[in-house]
Amino acid sequence: MQTPHELSRRTVSRRALVAAAAAGLVTTVVSPARAAEAETARFHTVGRVRRAADGTVRYSWPGVSFEGRFHGTGVGVVLDDADNDYDVQVDGATVATLVTPGRTVSWVDGLADGAHRVRVVKRTESPWAVGRFGGFVAAPGGGILPSPRARRRQIEFIGDSYTAGYGNVSEIRDCSGNGGVNRNSNADLSFGALTARELDADFQINAFSGRGMVRNYNGGEPGTDFRTYYDRALLNVEGDVWRKPHSWCPQVVVVGLGINDFSTALNPGERWSTTAELVAAYESAYHGFLDKLRARYGPRTFLVVAAARLGNTTALAEATLRIVEERGRRGDDRVSHWYYEDPGLDHLGCDWHPSLHDHRIISGLLDTHVAGLPLRW
């Protein structure tokens, strides 16, 4: 018999590593599609997904989350994903972390009999693979309640590894010996997610590590950049197009692209022979990207052009400021410049990325910037 602080695990075809905190969790193999049939769409989805006829949803962007309500003493989370890690939260507290769970229903048991709220969130990036969520299943004697309502406030975060929370829960820069980048990444603890929770906002994290506005890290994968993937729901499906639901119209969009464009020196053979040429291409592409966002979300959405301090160059800070000033000259007064740096940043995440400590600092700086916008939400 389980108690709320016990964890039991059944070995499955793909190893499911689970960590539990405040509740017990059991992993068993059940068809995600079959388990979800009785409770189709009785969950609130936050993030880009591709919906299937059987009620399941597929996705690949980091930070995608699903929220539900149930009554009873336990709830099952139906997943089909051998590549990503997830946090399971009940009544606002993280009760389990599912590490590459595979095709499973993971049970949180031993709860007080009553009404509860459950949330499952994708911690990791997987541009090469698609996960599938099949809904929530109530423990015997309980039931799934109507879906929670969407939050009135909405924010979209667009960016690279900083935005994705790459390696942010590591406490050392070399993650080769402590589980690697995925085991040490949590998009739900990125600066964007922290700010969104502070504001009680639904949020999307549309971030892709190593990608820039026109140039990827160290000039890698030429011919592609972040814009190649932005319009997709499923990152690994060429030609895929995300259909924006009518319910998604963020009041704020934070764009953080440029670290990969400028953090490394140009290599011989790249299509820009000088930094000045790269800057010109970056600014032109950025204006086009802002035009796309403005057309998609309308004139009232605030667009925040973000720039982090780079130790090797001021090109990013200067270019983004010029972009915002030019938008103002064109008559768009809802584009702001957010340049962030802080002497307290330790960059102790994997590969010198911001740590959780840093993300909290950056989130606080973003909170201050958003508070200064003339928002009416």
Cβ(84)–Cβ(124) below 8 Å: yes
Distances (CA, A) of 375 to 80, 250, 251, 254, 312: 39, 12, 8, 14, 35
Distances (CA, A) of 187 to 60, 85, 167, 200, 359: 13, 10, 9, 17, 10
Residue 258, Ramachandran bin (φ over 0: left; ψ between -120 and 50: alpha; else beta): left
- H-helix or E-strand spanning residue 353: none
Question: In the block, which residue shows the tokens 């690279």?
Answer: 160
Question: So which residues are the catalytic ones?
Answer: 161
The span from the CA of 265 to the CA of 127, in Å, is 26
Q: Which two tokens stand for residue 162?
A: 């900083």
In sequence order, the 6+-apart residues with CB closer than 8 A to the CB of 157 are: 163, 190, 192, 203, 204, 205, 206, 207, 253, 254, 256
The span from the CA of 89 to the CA of 97, in Å, is 9
Cβ(118)–Cβ(65) below 8 Å: no
The residues with which 81 forms a beta bridge, in sequence order, are 102
Q: Which two tokens stand for residue 209?
A: 């590590």
The span from the CA of 349 to the CA of 175, in Å, is 8
The span from the CA of 62 to the CA of 181, in Å, is 14
